[in-house]
A = this chain, B = another copy of it.
Amino acid sequence: MKIEDLDTPCILVDRRIAEANLARAQAYADEHRLPLRPHIKTHKLPLFAHRQIELGAIGITCQKIGEAEVMADAGITDIFIPYNILGRAKLQRLRVLHDRITLSVTADSETTVAGYGGYFADAGHPLPVLVECDTGAGRCGVQSQQEAVALARSIASRPGLRFDGLMTYPPRGQLAKVNEWLETAKAELARAGLEARRISSGGSPEFYSAAEVTAATEHRPGTYIYSDRMQVEHGLGSLSDCALTVLATVVSRPAPDRAVLDAGSKSLAADRCSAPGHGHIVEYPEAVVASLSEEHGVVDLSKCVRKPEVGERVRVIPNHVCVVSNLFDVVHISQDGETAEAVKVAARGRVR
């Protein structure tokens, strides 16, 4: 379909930019001998998961079982779910998935480990479990290396589970500290007779410093494929490296300095970054998407010399691309900037 014939709002992915982002990242990873295990939360598309593997990734990362099921159905055979998976419904699905593909998970508590133990005791091959470590990001994860060792021991002691190593989502700007944390944990595990054969780190903003975490045996970048305003703000490339835009139409020009787009918080999401407004309008870089209601984006044109007309179409680089992907049933992927192919966002809404 011609891009000019796409109805708005819709997602447009420039495949050439996405490919350049993937190739650049894989080249860095290859140079530093750092295996990649990309997080598919950003695109939720089997197409790009396969492409990431084709380029050299050792497998993929999913945050939810539902995403992993979609990717397994699409033929992906090695999936890491770095999440505490709890409860009968999920553990039953996890067991089924484990029988189909090479699966690994994480835990940061005895409760989570006991859950895995209960459902995998009779598994034909063990479930690899990594201990999630809070190296400063303040989300999940054991708080000390001692806790990591204790939990690793518990995993190793349970039939059907295998202690495989450590996982962390590092805080920004602290990679040296993160590495030290992980090296210490690895050494303490070794002293306890436990081998952390896999140490998984992640994040896109500081991807091109990821090799500084020398303890890591793999890295899980997510947003790097599309990038967004937040990533650019955190130092990953520039706005011209953003592959995904929301194509929108100016539906109103009620006042000289105001335009209204047909994209609101149900298309652009309300996530903020420190750059002003709710997205960057490519054609009008001085414009500010000042406020969103659900289906309207109100644009402040006061700094624009040239101003859009009613009916004009613009492309908006979102603040946070991963949540935008999740708002649309379909993305339109363009190879040439003129035509685009509609692709179903297969793992959209797979929140469980």
Residues of A within 8 A of B (CB): 5, 7-10, 41, 63-64, 83-84, 86-87, 89-90, 108-109, 111-112, 115, 132, 134, 138-143, 249, 251-255, 258, 260, 262, 265-267, 269-272, 293-296, 298, 309-311, 320, 322-323, 326-329, 349, 351-352
User: Beyond A89-B7, A260-B139, is A111–B310 a contact (Cβ under 8 Å)?
Assistant: yes
Contact indicator B143/A255 (Cβ below 8 Å): yes
Q: How far is the CB of A162 from chain B (nearest CB, A)?
A: 21
Name 17 interchain pairs, CB-CB below 8 A, sorted by A: A8-B352, A41-B295, A109-B310, A111-B310, A112-B251, A139-B260, A139-B296, A140-B296, A141-B252, A141-B254, A265-B323, A269-B270, A270-B272, A294-B322, A294-B323, A327-B327, A328-B349
Contacts A7-B90, A271-B270, A323-B265 hold; do A252 and B352 have CB atoms under 8 A apart? no
Say whether, besides A108-B254, A322-B294, A86 and B260 are in contact (CB < 8 Å).
no
Give the chain B neighbours of A323 by CB distance below 8 A.
265-266, 270, 294
Most buried by B among A254, A260, A271: A254
Nearest residue, chain B, Cβ from A345? B349
A42, closest chain B residue (CB): B294
Contacts of A8 in B (CB 8 A): 87, 352
Contact present for A267 and B7 (CB under 8 Å)? no
B311 with A328: CB separation less than 8 A = no
Q: In the complex the two chains form, what is the Cα distance from A289 to B139 in whole Å?
A: 12
Extra contacts besides A5-B89, A327-B327 (19): CB < 8 Å: A7-B90, A10-B352, A41-B294, A41-B295, A63-B295, A83-B262, A84-B251, A87-B311, A109-B252, A109-B253, A109-B310, A112-B310, A139-B252, A139-B254, A140-B296, A266-B323, A270-B270, A270-B272, A327-B349
Instruction: For the complex, give the distance between the alpha carbons of A272 and B278 in Å.
Output: 13
Let me know if A252 and B108 touch, CB within 8 A: yes
Residues A86 and B251 in contact, CB atoms below 8 Å apart: yes
Specify which chain B residues have a CB less than 8 angstroms from the CB of A258 in the assembled complex: 138
